[in-house]
Chains A and B, each alone.
Chain A
Amino acid sequence: MAQYMLLLYDDPTSWASLSPEEMQKATEKYMAWTQKSFTRDSNRLAPDLGRVIRSEGGHPRATDGPYSETKEILGGYYTIEAASYDEAVQLSLAHPHLDYGGTIEVRQVWEL
């Protein structure tokens, strides 16, 4: 079966206004999703901006990330198994991340 990466972006400040009840419900929803049978791997990225490394005038340089001014930050990823892009997307549509204003980028892991 093909594998797909789900890249989860969110605005960390969007959680600030949720109540304890809402935070708990969200936690339970995320917990349920990571236990799904089609999930092969999942990880949460540390809540920092990370570093961006690029070459400037032939010199590799590291700066604080991310490189754009977007409010959304890559927060985590999943690797899931699905029969097709359509199926991968179908499965992703149910992810709670979307309930809380997040964005999910779905990319197929290229089988060569």
Chain B
Amino acid sequence: MLLEHLFRHQSGRVVAHLTHLLGPAHLDLAEEAMQEAMLRALQTWPYQGVPDNAAAWLFRVAHNAAIDAVRRNRLLAEKTDALVGELSSSGAAASSDPDVEEQLRDDELRMIFMCCHPDISRDARVALSLKAVGGFSVREIARAFLADEAAIAQRLVRAKRQIRDGRLTLEMPGDRELKSRLDSVLDVLYFMFNEGYAAHEGGELIRQDLCLEALRLARLVASSSIAEPRADALVALMALQAARQPARVDHAGDLVVFEDQDRSRWDRQLIGLGFQYFDRSMSGEEVSEYHVQAAIAATHVRAAADRAPDWPLILHLYDQLMSLNASPVVALNRAVAVAKVHGPAMGLAAIEPLDSDPHLRDYYLLLAVRGHLLLELGRAAEAAACFRAALERPCSEPERRFLKRKLELASGSPQRR
């Protein structure tokens, strides 16, 4: 009926544009105007049919709602009439006009850069980006991050106050700040993508919406004039990982490990996009973490049908990644590669130092990997203990079922629970 995610995508663009005209201090008003436009759509489209250009309709009606609000609140006092004039002409502009298109993309970009301003706390940057640019609601954001709705709402209130108090603008930061702001934006988008990719929530393993939204915004950033090769690398990384999503979960909603994945279900288009941006990221000397992660994702995807990927290369890339970021999660992923190249015993040795890492104490995957390696070494009883312990940690339903199957394998008998 309607283009998928029409309302949500338009929401980001319209809110960004209205905020540009009204000023960031009135972000709330911009959001309300968009909400009003969507309500009007709900109230009229079922009876009058969908307008020829649905996006333009929403754009125009949101502008009108903003005009009403500006007049009602006598916003900006003496500047009210000028503001109303600007809103009127903007709302009337044909949104199929390429200049308008470019303006809207530009506004969205400025918006996400503002949302990642250093004055705003890191947690709030993600929430604000998802709300203002991504068009997600407080409830949806809370669900994605397994957080309390009220806590997310509070974060947003605080962030908006910081915008007002700090008089933040939609101006792009100057050269000196640009690099760190770009890093902040990429960091937020990376976080967003990861949350979507390995959603911890109840029944769903993958929150496709979050992943694709992060990818969309990353592309927006990468295609702008202030982008750097590492932005291209991030797009490549996201596209190549998202490409494999359709095969990660089978028809029953159960987890499928890489070796067993039906590669014909990988998204060809996303793979193409991924390699396109991977090539672009190679321009220049820069080798960021995103570059290395993209290379790892590319190596997985390049594996010929029914053949294992180039594990020695993957191990080498993880060594490189460790030198850039020796996080425990990277170390764990590296250990898996070690096991593939040098055998399960070496893999276990690589995991050992991680057992005492407090960051991984609640990470079920550490126990699951150890259990898997023990199973490969024929140490079934120890493996079973690992899987049992892993089940006591937080994880999603498909992950839970996966662990139970491994536990059954290890204990040689079906588990009742």
Say yes or no for B38: interface residue by CB 8 A criterion: yes
- CB A103 to nearest CB in B, in angstroms, measures 17
In the complex, which residues of chain A have a beta carbon less than 8 angstroms from the beta carbon of B121?
none
Chain A, Cβ-Cβ closest to B3: A24
| Chain A hits for B39, CB < 8 A | 12, 15, 23
Residues 5-41 of chain A: 1 if any B CB is under 8 Å from the residue's CB, otherwise 0?
0000000100111111111101110111110000000
Give the shortest distance, in Å, between A99 (CB) and chain B (any CB). Answer: 12
Known: A24-B2, A30-B42, A44-B44. A16 touches B35 (CB 8 A): yes
Number of B interface residues in the complex (CB < 8 A): 27
- Contact code string B5-42 (vs A, CB < 8 Å = 1, else 0): 11110110000000000000000000000110011011
Say yes or no: is A63 at the interface (Cβ < 8 Å to chain B). Answer: no
* With contact pairs A16-B35, A19-B139, A32-B1 given, residues A24 and B47 touching in the complex (Cβ less than 8 Å): no
Q: A19-B8, A19-B139 are in contact. Are A31 and B38 (CB under 8 A)?
A: no
Describe B's contact surface by its main secondary structure: helix
Whether A23 contacts B42 by the Cβ 8 Å rule is yes
Shortest CB-to-CB span from B28 to chain A, Å, is 12
Report how far A30 CA is from B44 CA in the complex, Å: 10
Task: Give Cα distance in the complex from A42 to B44, angstroms.
Answer: 11
- The smallest C-beta distance from A49 to any residue of chain B, in angstroms, reads 15
B45 touches A31 (CB 8 A): yes
B331 to chain A, nearest CB (A): 37
Within 8 A of A (CB), among B234-274: none
Is A70 part of the contact surface with B, judged by Cβ < 8 Å? Answer: no
Is A43 on the interface with B (CB-CB < 8 A)? Answer: yes
Q: Pick the contact of A28: B1, B44, B138, B209 (CB < 8 A).
A: B1
Q: Given A20-B8, A27-B2, is A15 in contact with B42 using a C-beta cutoff of 8 Å?
A: yes
Q: B2 — which chain A residues lie within 8 A by C-beta?
A: 24, 27-28
- Complex contact A20–B38 (CB within 8 A): yes
| Contact A23 B139, beta carbon cutoff 8 Å | no
Cross-interface CB contact of B50 among A31, A32, A33, A75, cutoff 8 Å: A31
- Inter-chain CA distance A33–B138, complex, in Å, is 29
Residue B135, interface by CB 8 Å: yes
- Contact in complex: B41, A21 (CB < 8 Å): no
Are B46 and A30 interface neighbours, CB within 8 A?
yes
Inter-chain CA distance A42–B47, complex, in Å, is 7
CB closest residue in chain A, given B40: A47
Contact, CB under 8 Å: A27 / B41: yes
7 additional A-B pairs beyond A21-B7, A44-B44, beta carbons within 8 Å, are: A15-B39, A15-B42, A20-B10, A21-B5, A21-B137, A27-B45, A76-B47
Can you identify 18 A-B contacts, CB atoms within 8 angstroms? A12-B39, A15-B42, A17-B138, A19-B135, A20-B7, A20-B8, A20-B11, A20-B34, A20-B137, A21-B135, A23-B39, A24-B38, A26-B42, A30-B45, A31-B50, A32-B1, A42-B47, A44-B43
* B residues with CB within 8 A of A: 1-2, 5-8, 10-11, 34-35, 38-39, 41-47, 50, 135-140, 209
Which 6 residue pairs are nearest across A and B when measured between Cβ atoms?
A19-B137, A20-B7, A24-B7, A30-B46, A20-B8, A23-B38
